[in-house]
A and B are shown apart, each in its own frame.
Chain A
Amino acid sequence: MQRIVIPGEKISDTPVRMHNTLINNGKTYSTIVGLYSDEKSTLIPLEGLWNPAYGDTAVGVIEEDRLNTYNVNLNSPYKGLLISKFVQEQLNKGDVVEASVKELDKTQTVVLMRPRKLSGGKIFSITPSKVPRVLGKGNNMLKELSASTKSSIIVGHNGVVWIKGGNMQLAMDAILRIQEEAHTTGLTDRIKEMLSKGN
């Protein structure tokens, strides 16, 4: 049985080491608003911020073209940085890029690698904690989305989504619905139904 927990709510009488929890006097407390499952003993954040990790995909907008680097706006507390040496094509201010995270350095800057320029299309942002649900198990949800709307969709772990072509409105509506209903069961079926109706 899953239940919603709030910061400071006890989730276990035994110390359990996991993300977004706090161990005090041998008991475990949540530090976020999340969904806790007793059997699986997992705490899924309902609201949350992006914790950059090696290999994460990030979608951002070039903010500034410096001498050796590009500053990238990642719509998060962290600044994005691209080193010009590793950029194959000319990037300008305002370009949308997809890149993967190389590291989070000591100055809270996300150093990016393997950038790809995304031309055209639209970007919008969702809550970063809902990204795993938009991707689905083994990217199944995302495959389903792009197959039925015929859009190219790139979802960054920082919560920025880029879509181009196909039925963009439907894809956007579906992603926003996944964000809203991420913590419910049977979501995949509802989204499939929504996509087949929309076409």
Chain B
Amino acid sequence: MSGGGEKPELIINGKRLDGRGATDLRSLKIEPNVIKNAAGSAYVEWGNNKIIAAVHGPKEALPKHTSDPEKAVIKCRYMMAPFSSLEGHGRTGPNRRSIEISKVTKEVFENVVMLELFPGTEIDIYVEVLQGDGGTRAAGITAAAVAMALSGIPMTDVPYAVSAGKIGETVVLDLNMIEDNYSDADMPVAVKPLTNETLLLQMDGSFTKEQFKEAMEMILESGKKIHEIQAAAIKRPYQEIIERYER
């Protein structure tokens, strides 16, 4: 996604376009259990991103040839709504980009969900982007992790994802759409917070070795905050009922 044309100045006096510093996250809000018909669901507002994630299953894998007698299979559909962005992503149904993001999201969850408990079944993850503003794959994974935990499917950890990038020679965290279009590097990373194992790492552009290290440190540091918000969102529906009776 190259911006083309003249490069606008994205960092002025150490502040980014939306007033953030280099290591600041955009505001993140997670609403649990928004879809009644899904086993688990979550709605995420991450800056201007608005994303709904829902998890269905496990259920019998259909068509039959997709099933695995050893473990469950995960099927993921990431989709941008036709009205979600200025660039017309998703206006023509599944495309190269959405198929790619579906695949990487699926692979993140294949490494945390305990698939061997449900042989021959499928687990569906749906990520719908209502409004996109850069970093939707990271926000989608973060939302889907909350939805997966709420569905009751055993998993080893609740992963989170966030992107880091480079504007000029400055490493910055959590790029928005404009920064992403004109940045020199963009790297979404998904992490298992318990062990800090990397589940997803993609990169556009280039980092030097030192910049990459700096970016990873930023991601792991901000991840603590993201994971806290996820944990609070998962616990909230139960906490509310407990508080109603035990004051």
Contact = CB atoms under 8 A, between A and B. Distances in A.
Nearest to A51: B117
A22 B154 CA distance: 10
B241 A48 contact: no
Contact of A183 (B112, B152, B153, B241): B241
A8 B245 contact: no
Contacts of A47: 40, 150-152
A77 B158 contact: no
Contacts of A26: none
Given A4-B239, A31-B114, A79 B156 contact: no
B70 to A, nearest CB: 11
A77 B193 contact: no
B242 interface: yes
Nearest to B233: A6
B135 interface: no
Q: Is the interface of B mostly helix, strand, loop or mixed?
A: mixed
Interface string A26-47: 0001011100000000000111
Interface string A2-27: 00101111000000000010100000
Contact of A49 (B58, B69, B150, B244): B58
Given A47-B40, A107-B120, A29 B194 contact: yes
B234 interface: yes
Contact-residue bracket for chain B? 35 or more
A184 B194 contact: no
B224 interface: no
A127 interface: yes
A129 interface: yes
Contacts of A107: 69, 120
A49 B153 contact: yes
A7 B155 contact: yes
Contact of B246 (A22, A48, A79, A184): A184
A4 B154 CA distance: 15
B236 to A, nearest CB: 10
Contacts of A180: 241
A6 B234 contact: yes
B118 interface: yes
Contact of B154 (A20, A181, A183, A185): A20
Given A77-B60, A77-B121, A108-B120, A29 B242 contact: no
B156 A32 contact: no
B119 to A, nearest CB: 6
Contact of B157 (A4, A8, A77, A185): A8
B1 to A, nearest CB: 33
Contacts, number: 82
A195 B246 CA distance: 21
B158 A8 contact: yes
A138 interface: no
Contacts of B246: 184-185
Contacts of B149: 6-7, 33
Contacts of A186: 245
Contact of B152 (A129, A181, A190): A129
B182 to A, nearest CB: 37
A20 B244 CA distance: 28
A49 B245 CA distance: 27
Interface in A161-199: 180-181, 183-186, 190
B36 to A, nearest CB: 13
Contacts of A6: 149, 158, 231, 234-235
Contacts of B154: 7, 20, 31-32
Contacts of B152: 32-33, 45-49, 127, 129
Given A7-B149, A33-B234, A184-B246, A77 B156 contact: no
B245 to A, nearest CB: 5
A164 B152 CA distance: 30
A193 to B, nearest CB: 12
Contacts of B235: 4, 6, 33
